[in-house]
Structure 1
Amino acid sequence: MARAKTAPTRPRIIAIANNKGGVGKTTSTINIAGALVLREKRVLIIDLDPQANGSVSLDVVVAADSLGTKLLLQDEQFTIQDCAYDKGAYLDIVPSHRTLVDVQYPLLIEPAGRTRLREKLRTGAKSYDYVLLDCPPDVGSLTQSALIAASDVIVPVDVGYFSIDGLDNMLDLIEQVQHAYSDQLNLLGILVTKFDSRTTLSNDTLAAIRGQKLPLISPPIRVCVEVIRAQMERVPISIYDVDSAAAQDYEAVADSLLPSRQRKRKTTSKVVNLPNRQG
């Protein structure tokens, strides 16, 4: 379990959300976190996707009845500290399991269901600088819980003819949460992933988003094979290859989340625990 850490001010809670799958939500969550920990920021990832790709990406694989996101949302008695797993000096994760789908309906029908995550973060996340909420590819109760709990939201989209297809559904949900739960929820912007400036398709995607007058997070994340290699090693790209194009892009995105005086990578020490390898 995660160890106690010195409490900073209230954390910035950022949901990474899009109702479309395969756009880079989990990849962006893990790699923004990796860039932040290199700046010695205490980061908590909460994996809200029953596919548990974020958990696997950090080599945290749990059983159905283990402490994790399911019990955190299902049971009042379990806290963030109970459910967070230590992944290094600055990084913790609350892992998911495929049985997380079982809590989606109860979250909808229970009076305090979709606000439970917000309340647990208010009382249990004070030891972190940033909390990143990795959402499933839908607009259901898990994504709603994340948006209700968050101060900010990033919407990743990938490059393609259908890249912004369905984006209106996500933006509508953000607006509904702003009206019903928190007018402080801020759309940080659209984060374009798998970007290649040499292709018409990539540039058309940027133009389409600008044409809708939507905020764009800069820079877009360049297509980069090292991202896949980092996933295979189960570490963030900034830990695997800090000089890669994607690492540079995610570090720039992370810098945009920091106060200007802190926008500098502070350490190259082992801030994320690498998985044990056999043989």
Structure 2
Amino acid sequence: MAATILAIANQKGGVGKTTTAVNLAASLAVAEQRTLLVDMDPQGNASSGVGVDSRGLAETIYPVLLDEALLSEVIRRTDLGGLHLVAANTDLIGAELELVALDDRETCLQRALLEVMDDYDYVLIDCPPSLGLLTVNALVAAHQVLVPLQCEYYAMEGLGHLTKTIELIRQQLNPRLILEGIVLTMFDQRNNLSHLVSEEARQHFGRSVYDTVIPRNVRLSEAPSHGQPVLLYDIGSKGAQAYMQLAEEFLRRCAHGEKTRVR
């Protein structure tokens, strides 16, 4: 069976997007799902988050997008046996400009992924915090979109722009694209605002919002500096337990077909 491709996107930075990409991918791998994490962010934080220093690295997603390398040539192993990585670094900044001149520039990633679709159960794409051509490539390649939503002020405002973009891409470039779900991140049990954002999101988006909530957690913040997903850094932490629970809910939703078209 071919892989399910999941783009993890939010044009707002600092919402837990890369944290979710890294730790959901790691949790799926631990659940014995063959998982590929594709870093599409020039910052390369998903790469360093699984222990790969991509600075100066030639084998990244960049030459693949420009059709100068095969995806299979740049896939790297990680410390988790079932988790592989396609790294990114600042070279990817130039891809936005170089892709503009290409025909079918929105489908470069989609075409590249075709080579390895049968090798994985899930492909997770960490998108940059923007709605530029790199994110468009991810959304055109994806079957589903997962949106991390920070439980803070203005969180809902940016979500409206993103859902409109998803709908536009579904109409014009990728009719199979669906909103898989919204994950509440950085939830502080003691903060009334976190509860208000959670209530508003659930009222507006209903079952699209995951039951699993990702808490604010020191271990989640520390793990990237050690180049490890949180379940390797401290599996007993609340952050690790939350992402493993998220992976379970994600797999359950996929099995039961609980997917929602963007409204």
Counterpart of 1:265 in structure 2 is none
Structure 2 residue matching 1:20: 3-state secondary structure = coil
Is 11-20 or 252-261 further displaced after alignment?
252-261
Match of 2:73 among 73, 82, 85: 82
More strand as a share of residues: 2
| 2:223 aligned with 1:230 | yes
Question: Deviation of residue 64 (structure 1)?
Answer: 4.2
Q: Which of 171, 183, 189 pairs up with 2:163?
A: 171
Aligned AA for 1:181? L
Q: 2:118 aligns with which of 126, 129, 132?
A: 126
Shift of 1:260: 8.0
Change in 2 beyond 3 A, CA 1:136/1:261:
closer
What pairs up with 1:139-218 in 2 under 5 angstroms? 139-213=131-205, 215-218=208-211
Using the TM superposition, give the Cα deviation of residue 92 of structure 1 relative to its aligned residue in structure 2, in angstroms: 1.0
Partner of residue 248, structure 2: 255
2:22 to 18, 30, 36: 30
- Distance in 2, matches of 1:158 and 1:236, equals 20
Q: Which residues of structure 2 form unaligned runs of 5+?
A: 256-263
Deviation at residue 186 of structure 1 after TM alignment: 1.4
Does structure 1 conserve the Cα–Cα contact (< 8 Å) formed by 2:52 and 2:227? no
1:68-97 Cα distance to aligned partner (Å, 9 max, x none): 0111111x2412210111114211111111
How far is 1:124 from its partner? 2.3
Q: TM-score, normalised by structure 2?
A: 0.90
> How many equivalent residue pairs?
253
Write the distance in 1 (CA, Å) between the matches of 2:176 and 2:136.
15
Distance in 2, matches of 1:201 and 1:228, equals 21
Structure 1: unaligned runs, 5 residues or longer: 1-8, 263-279
Aligned position for 2:260: none
> Contact 2:72/2:115 (CA < 8 Å) preserved in 1?
no
Change (3 A) 1:109 1:211: farther
3-state SS of paired residue (1:44): strand
Identity within the alignment, %: 32
Does residue 1:42 correspond to 2:34, yes or no?
yes
Instruction: Quote the offset at 1:211 in angstroms.
Output: 3.5
The TM-score normalised by the length of structure 1 is 0.85
Write 1 or 2 for the structure with the bigger share of helix: 2
Greater mean deviation of Cα atoms: 191-200 or 140-149: 191-200
Instruction: Give the CA RMSD over aligned residues.
Output: 1.8
Residue 51 (structure 1) aligns with: 43
